Amino acid sequence: MDNKRNNESRERIFNAIKAAAPTVSMDLDIIQKEAQDILAESEFARPKLLAEDAPEALVNRINAGLVIGTSCEIVASLEDLPHSVNQFLNKYSLPPELKVQNVPKLQSLNWESLSIDVDLQKDNTVGMCWAEYGVAETGSFVVHSSPEMPILLNFLPLYLIAVIPKSKILHYMDDYALIASEIANRGETPRNMCLISGVSGTTDIEGVLVQGAHGPEISHIIIVEDQ
């Protein structure tokens, strides 16, 4: 990096801002108070959910067809996952193989004849990921990058199954932001935090919606109750 140039530009930008607003207070408390006050307005400035209970609201949202290319189901426990996956594969006439995220919770399940390790670089694959959170407002699941979570797992497959623990379904995006700031306070912010609300879509050719632009065409959310 050209440090001299960089510092000069930095200086120029800050000086220009100060020159444009010379009387602005730099009292941190005032700034933080103002910033907090604005957030307090969210309560009155966000959409109504489709149910009071967050998991129910999320399910209603998906079932109402408001989350592009996404379906969902609720299962009692993790042990039910292989069965649900089989049903999903059958529904779309897919071969008995999928890439299951490399987390013990999922890997240790009894997958029977299913092959759970496929090369994601190929197209037409099925992926299965463990979501950290769900968000009812937007019908989203949230993934965090980690040694066990390759971000590409959520983007390369044509079909994606996301598993969300029921207890981790939040009402609003604001609730997730709060959690993100707690994670940050612990110094544990992951490289990527992805809120995924539907599938990879485009309307770039004559305004027609096509799913599966680069990533998933179909997505299925499985909510696990006992987690």
Partner 1 sequence: MHANKPENFYQNVTEALAQPDLKMIIRRTTDKAETKRAEAIANFPEFEKARQQGQKVKDHTIKYMDHYLAEFEKNAAAQGTIVHWASTGEEASKIVLDICRQHEAKKVTRSKSMLGEEIGLSHALDNSGIERVETDLAEHIIQLAGDPPSHIVWPAMHRSREDVIKLFREFHKDPTYSEEITDLVRSARRDLRTKFLTSDIGISGSNFLLADSGSSCTVTNEGNAELTITPPKVHIVTAGIEKLVPSMAHAVPLLRLLTRSATGGEITQYITFHNGPKRPNDADGPEECHIVLVDNGRTKMLADGMEEMLRCIRCGACMNHCVVYKHIGGHAYGSVYPGPMGSVLTPHLDSLKVANKQTHACTLNGRCEEVCPVNIPLPKLLRALRAESWQKKYEPLTNRYVVKAYAQLAKRPRMFQFVSSCGVVFMKLFSRQGWIKSMPFTGGWTRNRDLIEPESKTFMQQYKASKKAKSSGGR
- List the one residue from 63, 86, 102, 227 that touches partner 1 (CB under 8 A): 102
Contact status: 46 vs partner 1 (CB under 8 A): yes
Residue 51 contacts partner 1 per CB under 8 A: no
Give dist(CA 103, CA 78) in Å, integer: 13
60 binds partner 1 (CB under 8 A): no
Q: How far apart are CA 198 and CA 162, in angstroms?
A: 11
Residue 64 as a binder of partner 1 (CB under 8 A): the answer is no
d(CA 227, CA 221) in angstroms, rounded, equals 15
Work out the burial of residue 120: count CB atoms within 10 Å of its CB; fewer than 13 is exposed, 13-18 middle, 19 or more buried.
middle
- Our finding on whether 200 is near partner 1 (CB under 8 A) is yes
Residue 1 binding partner 1, by CB under 8 A:
yes
From candidates 4, 16, 112, 182, binder to partner 1 by CB under 8 A? 16
Q: Give just the sign of the alpha carbon dihedral 52, 58, 59, 63.
A: positive
Quote the CA–CA distance of 117 and 101 in Å, as a whole number. Answer: 9
Q: Which of residues 130-149 bind partner 1 (CB under 8 A)?
A: 137-140, 145-149
Binding mask 169-198 for partner 1 (x = CB under 8 A): ---xxx-xxx-xx--x----xxxxxxxxxx
Task: Output the DSSP codes for 112-124.
Answer: TT-B----TTSSS
Identity of the residue, 80 or 174, whose beta carbon is nearer to partner 1 in the bound complex = 174
Instruction: Pick between residue 161 and residue 200 the one whose CB is nearest to partner 1.
Output: 200
Considering only 38, 76, 104, 182, the residue that binds partner 1 (CB under 8 A) is 38
